[in-house]
Structure 1
């Protein structure tokens, strides 16, 4: 088994962070993992994306042209990367910022209004965690329990943010189930 996930959006949306958290969760579950971040020179507001490769065997190359899954947090990312997703994969669409579909009928495409959900749980900055939780709930690449533990660990130096992020995880998982 090998799964490749491309997380993409604007700089400042926490794209690299959620890729890192997923990679950590997969590593905690005993998988081989590669995390390759990339961002434009603008950082905040520019483009940001990362690729996470999760496998049950050594990973030949962390550089992936055609990922199995895509988490698109903005329109330009959906336009650019949706055509590259492998047949049978998942395309997650942040419907808060994207009002069009990928045009693919050979993938599992689902829309989640992550910014509205994040606002409802207490902070728009938790939108990336809502997206990650929704994607993990749909893909089942790692368990939700492992994901929660890795998020808690990631925010351990800011303990006041842990309850908010746990609410974001629950809300994202619930959104994926609809």
Structure 2
């Protein structure tokens, strides 16, 4: 079982990122849970979602030990890093979480300049998709091309097609 938490401020596409990851898991034939949590004020308040992927039935959507944490701000690192398994993957927004911010030494930390990359792709709202691409690059959960196709399908269902969304995801997948 893989337990993921996506966390940041409302309006950053946190819940969308988790939903796309969950849909990717379903397309791979996995059992999936997606559990959102957000404050009463959507934009600017805190938002996070839990995603679980497994080949077997999942008893609870609650992620007790985090395998992958995507933190789009320092508050998210502080809130969730204590629940990470040793050796887990912590992806942080390099523009929002200072290098000096205290982070666990027993997890793999990847700093992703999501806003910078999204701006280079001329899609500032695509920072969450940059982070999703970084997940594909640093795990064996998803193929980058599969995620890119799912991103296009996800937004097409909402009538919000934007080829720059896919560019953000692909650029994020190149992050080391």
**Alignment TM class, shorter chain as reference:** over 0.9
Normalized per residue, the structure richer in helix is: 1
How many angstroms apart in 2 are the aligned matches of 1:138 and 1:64?
A: 20
Q: 3-state DSSP class of the match of 1:148? A: helix
Q: Deviations over 1:37-70 (max 9, x none)?
A: 0100011000000000000111121112321110
What is the distance in 1 between the residues matched to 2:127 and 2:42? 18
Secondary structure of the residue aligned to 2:29 is coil
Name the SS of the counterpart of 2:106 in structure 1. coil
| Alpha carbons 1:28, 1:146 under 8 Å: kept | no
- CA distance in 2 between counterparts of 1:158 and 1:60 reads 34
Pairing 1:105–2:105 present = yes
The SS at the match of 1:86 is strand
Q: For the residues of structure 2 that align with 1:26 and 1:145, how far apart are their CA atoms?
A: 14
Given that 1:11 and 1:44 are in contact with CA atoms closer than 8 Å, whether structure 2 keeps it comes out as: yes
Pairwise CA distance, 1:101: 4.1
Structure 1 position 10 matched with structure 2 position 32: no
User: Does residue 40 of structure 1 match 2:39?
Assistant: yes
Match of 1:158 in 2: 160
* Structure 2 match to 1:85: 84
2:23 aligned partner: 24
Aligned residue pairs total 173
Q: Quote how far apart the aligned CAs of 1:12 are.
A: 0.3
Match of 2:118 in 1: 118
Instruction: Give the alignment's TM-score, normalised by structure 2.
Output: 0.95
Write the deviation string for residues 77-127 of structure 1: whole angstroms up to 9, x where unpaired.
Answer: 011111111111100010111104442121111101100110000021010
Unpaired segments ≥5 residues, structure 2: none
Summarize the Cα distance change of 1:86–1:102 in structure 2 as closer, same or farther, 3 Å threshold: farther
Q: 1:4 touches 1:68 (CA, 8 Å); kept in 2?
A: yes
- Trace 1:120-139 onto structure 2 (pairs within 5 A): 120-139=120-139
Aligned to 2:95: 96
Task: Give the TM-score normalised by the residue count of structure 1.
Answer: 0.94
